[in-house]
Amino acid sequence: MIEVISDSRCVDCGICVDVCPTNVFDLSADGPPVIARQSDCQTCFMCEAYCPTDALFVAPLAGPAPTGSPLADEAALEAQNRFGEYRRWLGWGHGRTPGSRRDQNHVFTARALSPPKRAGR
Amino acid sequence: MTGGPRRRSPSVAIPAESDVLVLGGGPAGTWAALGAASRGARVTLVDKGYCGTSGSTAAAGNNLWYLPPGGPAREKAVAAREISGGYLTDRRWMFRLLDQTWDAVGQLADWGYPFPTSDDGTQRRASLQGPEYMRLMRRRVRRAGVAVIDQSPALELLVDPDGVVTGAAGLRRQHAGERWEVRAGAVILATGGCAFRSGALGLNVDTGDGALMAAELGADLSGMEFSCQYGIAPAFGAQTKGLMYQFATFTAADGTELACGLRPGGVLEVQRAALYSQVYAQLDLAEPGIRSAMRWSQPNFFLPFDKIGVDPFARRFPIRFVLEGTVRGTGGLRLVDDGCATAVPGLFAAGDAASREPVTGAVSGGGSHNGSWAIASGSWAGAAAARFASTRAGQWRTAPLAHGGGPGLRPRAARGDLRADDVVEAVQDRVLPLRHNRFRTAADLRESLTVLDALWPVVAGGLTAADGDPRSVLRTREATAMLAHARWMYRSALARPETRGMHLRDDSPQTTPAFARRIRVGGLDEVWTALDVAPPALLRTEETEETAVP
Ligand SMILES: Cc1cc2nc3c(=O)[nH]c(=O)nc-3n(C[C@H](O)[C@H](O)[C@H](O)COP(=O)(O)OP(=O)(O)OC[C@H]3O[C@@H](n4cnc5c(N)ncnc54)[C@H](O)[C@@H]3O)c2cc1C
Ligand code: SF4
Ligand code: SF4
């Protein structure tokens, strides 16, 4: 679920409010949007993909992060370079190559259709 | 950086009238909008969330059923699917699906979708990454002149005095719940399937709203017994993409191996074990050399592991099974012609909102067929709806319109004190657990139906209203749709006293050739089922084949 909007990274553009499929955010009069309905978050990472300044962090948990969790701690996340992680994989953002150019799903769908004989282990 | 300029994308005004109105902006809805617009129709598309991020494909991505024309590949694939699909497919629909998908993916390439290129310079075009694909679709739809209205769920359909669907109504949830109404010459339902708000990847917007609206006007459904597809997720999360588990070894708590890879029988063993204890997976069958390709192919499969600091190759992790309902199931509104019309005049359906039995049969279409179906059925529905609207006599523009919506909008009795979330919880209680929905028996299905049927009059009567909160209307409609789906699903499951495809009857494990027929279902106050009289149009029939019981 969405855990963090970084005040220092956010430029108040409102894009996350527009694009969240489950309407989790509300604009605020001054400053970054607020996480108004965290319980509606479906952990789809779409807001991370669209945020132009990598200001959001969505924890990979199906429920809210426990109190004190590093997954809700901006400084800890910053130290681990966790902001903007999905966007880097997607290759979104200025000067990046779309990640889809490296998509090898055809290998995996073919392999799933005729799996190799199992090697003895 | 407070105090910076806040730039919101300008809010698009909702047209009062449109030739074609598309409800839902996933792949089915966007291809439908393009199909209608390219035939000269004025088109409006509304989405509950945001066209481009919302729905199953945007979050998950799609491998497609994508095979070149000519040569034996298609013939072979269709024949194989007939068998694996439990003899409920229709060969003509499969071939037209393959044709349409081929052409549409060619268009995506022309529009600049960044496909990967092989060493010989040819593009690999059978996989579409969700965010990239749906961002492109949004751009194309807007470029085609379609009015795209986000964050504006449809709640009900509008009908003219002859019972022809002539628009829809809903609310704008980011505009204080302001209501909208669009009058239209034809309406396309592309609202996705129903995943019972299970939390599976990207599916909480897919609550079956479209089928509810259609059923309120008398539309029927088909294949609803095939709605019990479960995705595999790490226990901590909700990421249900499955393909990478072909590299998994599944184990029980004590380390005993349960299965490896994705053989259907093997996964079933794991699911049975999960009834009684925690089960685990580890991607230990993936050679180190292939892991980078795995990551680039499905980045959001690995993202949750990276974020939480678990190496899925090196360590086993607990897993759980998350219901994906009709999204990766098969059932939905029954289509009555090649243009994807439903049984209600003026109303068309595409993508997961429609039954995919003609192309997937009794097994999941998630993983290839569904994505192609969304493209093809959307394109067909768009073209047919534009035609319907243009041939319709002009009085639809002025005819008085009636509102089709019942529960949640027009309560029959004094409102009770049950909340929408209570209803959702009660429904989830009966449909999410493997023990009820994966491993079915007549006795348990009846028990579920007793609970669910008893809820219906309460919901139709009227749930408690959180006055002034526009979201409560939407919540109520969603809860109503989920309850209706649960009842259609289990009634259909009772009507199929055999095991076929994903529908598993522990009390009738045999496949019975007499049941190589589709099952129709419909009704809200009274749910009915009927065995389709016409056998599906196959290359061969089941009688001549060995029956494979999973
Ligand atoms: C994890 C996962 C992986 C998958 N992988 C594959 C794959 O590899 N290959 C494949 O073929 N298929 C796959 N599928 C299935 C595939 O994603 C779906 O079949 C496909 O997205 C269906 O498209 P759709 O447009 O009908 O629905 P969706 O993409 O779900 O879109 C529905 C849209 O309707 C909107 N909506 C809902 N209710 C309303 C309302 N009341 N008013 C207005 N709008 C509304 C939603 O917001 C959403 O935007 C996968 C599914 C999952 C869950
Ligand atoms: S999208 Fe990012 S920068 Fe824009 S308002 Fe949201 S958090 Fe801030
Ligand atoms: S992860 Fe998805 S649902 Fe959650 S806030 Fe971000 S966009 Fe919204």
**Amino acid identity of B357?**
E
The model's pLDDT over B24-35, given as tens digits with 9 standing for 90+, comes to: 999 999 999 999
Structure tokens at B73: 């590949």
Residue with tokens 């709640």: B155
> Is a pLDDT exceeding 90 seen at residue B476?
yes
> Is a pLDDT exceeding 60 seen at residue B549?
no
Helix boundaries (H) for B344-431: 357-360, 369-391, 420-431
How far apart (Å, rounded) are the C-alpha atoms in residues B181 and B162?
A: 19
Nearest residue, CB atoms, B114 vs list A13, A62, A101: A101
* Confidence at residue B542, expressed as pLDDT on a 0 to 100 scale: 59
pLDDT tier, B466 (very low <50, low <70, confident <90, very high otherwise): low
Over residues B471-479, mean pLDDT = 91
Substitution target in B296, B301, B474 with the highest count of A β-carbons within 10 Å is: B296
Report how far ligand 3's centroid is from the alpha carbon of B299 (Å): 17
Over residues A22-43, mean pLDDT = 96
* Complex confidence, ipTM: 0.96
CA distance B459 to chain A (A): 22
Where does B231-325 sit in CATH, by number?
3.90.700
The model's pLDDT over A34-64, given as tens digits with 9 standing for 90+, comes to: 999 999 999 999 999 999 999 999 999 999 9
pTM of the model: 0.96
Residues of A in contact with B114 (CB under 8 A): 98, 100-101
Report the percent of chain A where pLDDT is more than 70.
Answer: 97
Over residues B109-137, mean pLDDT = 97
* Confidence at residue B394, expressed as pLDDT on a 0 to 100 scale: 85
pLDDT tier, B550 (very low <50, low <70, confident <90, very high otherwise): very low
* Confidence at residue B3, expressed as pLDDT on a 0 to 100 scale: 40
Q: Residues near ligand 3 with C-beta < 6 Å? A: A 2, 20-22, 24, 41-47, 58
Residue extents of the structural domains in chain A: 2-113
pLDDT tier, B468 (very low <50, low <70, confident <90, very high otherwise): low
* Confidence at residue B467, expressed as pLDDT on a 0 to 100 scale: 57
Structure tokens at B539: 């290359």
Q: Which CATH number fits domain B420-547: 3.30.450.370, 1.10.510.10, 1.20.58.100, 3.40.50.300?
A: 1.20.58.100
In sequence order, the β-bridge partners of residue B323 are: B230
Residues of B in contact with A100 (CB under 8 A): 113-116, 128-129, 132
> How crowded is the C-beta side of B152, counted as CA atoms within 13 Å?
25
CA distance A109 to chain B (A): 7
CB A2 within 8 A of CB A47: yes
* Confidence at residue B417, expressed as pLDDT on a 0 to 100 scale: 84
User: Into which CATH architecture does domain B17-228+326-403 fall?
Assistant: 3-Layer(bba) Sandwich (3.50)
The chain-wide mean pLDDT, for chain B, equals: 94
Over residues B273-281, mean pLDDT = 97
> Is a pLDDT exceeding 90 seen at residue B145?
yes
The model's pLDDT over B392-450, given as tens digits with 9 standing for 90+, comes to: 988 899 999 999 999 888 888 777 789 999 999 999 999 999 999 999 999 999 999 99
CB B200 within 8 A of CB B238: yes
* Confidence at residue A121, expressed as pLDDT on a 0 to 100 scale: 41
Q: Which fold has domain A2-113?
A: Alpha-Beta Plaits (3.30.70)
* Confidence at residue B423, expressed as pLDDT on a 0 to 100 scale: 96
* Confidence at residue A13, expressed as pLDDT on a 0 to 100 scale: 96
Residue extents of the structural domains in chain B: 17-228+326-403, 231-325, 420-547
pLDDT tier, B2 (very low <50, low <70, confident <90, very high otherwise): very low
pLDDT tier, B214 (very low <50, low <70, confident <90, very high otherwise): very high
Which of the ligands is closest to the CA of residue A42?
3
pLDDT tier, A120 (very low <50, low <70, confident <90, very high otherwise): very low
Instruction: With CB atoms and an 8 Å threshold, state whether A85 touches B306.
Output: yes
> Is a pLDDT exceeding 70 seen at residue B543?
no
The model's pLDDT over B302-336, given as tens digits with 9 standing for 90+, comes to: 999 999 999 999 999 999 999 999 999 999 999 99
The model's pLDDT over B152-170, given as tens digits with 9 standing for 90+, comes to: 999 999 999 999 999 999 9
Instruction: With CB atoms and an 8 Å threshold, state whether B308 touches A71.
Output: yes
In DSSP notation, B180-238 reads EEEEEEEEEE----B-TT---TT-TT-B-HHHHHHHHTT--EE-TT----EEEEETTS-
**Amino acid identity of B216?**
E
CA distance A93 to chain B (A): 12
CA atoms B34, B354, A45, B483: torsion sign: positive
Give the SS3 label for residue B398. Answer: coil
Bigger pLDDT: B411 vs B41: B41
- Indicate if ligand 2 lies below 6 Å from the C-beta of A51: yes
Q: Look up residue B179 and give its DSSP letter.
A: E
A 19-38 near B (Cβ less than 8 A): 19-23, 27, 30-32
The model's pLDDT over B494-536, given as tens digits with 9 standing for 90+, comes to: 999 999 999 999 999 999 999 999 999 999 999 999 999 877 7
- The set of residues, in sequence order, having a beta carbon less than 8 Å from that of B528 and lying 6+ positions away, is B491, B521, B522
Report the percent of chain B where pLDDT is more than 90.
Answer: 87
Over residues A13-21, mean pLDDT = 97
Instruction: With CB atoms and an 8 Å threshold, state whether A60 touches B307.
Output: yes
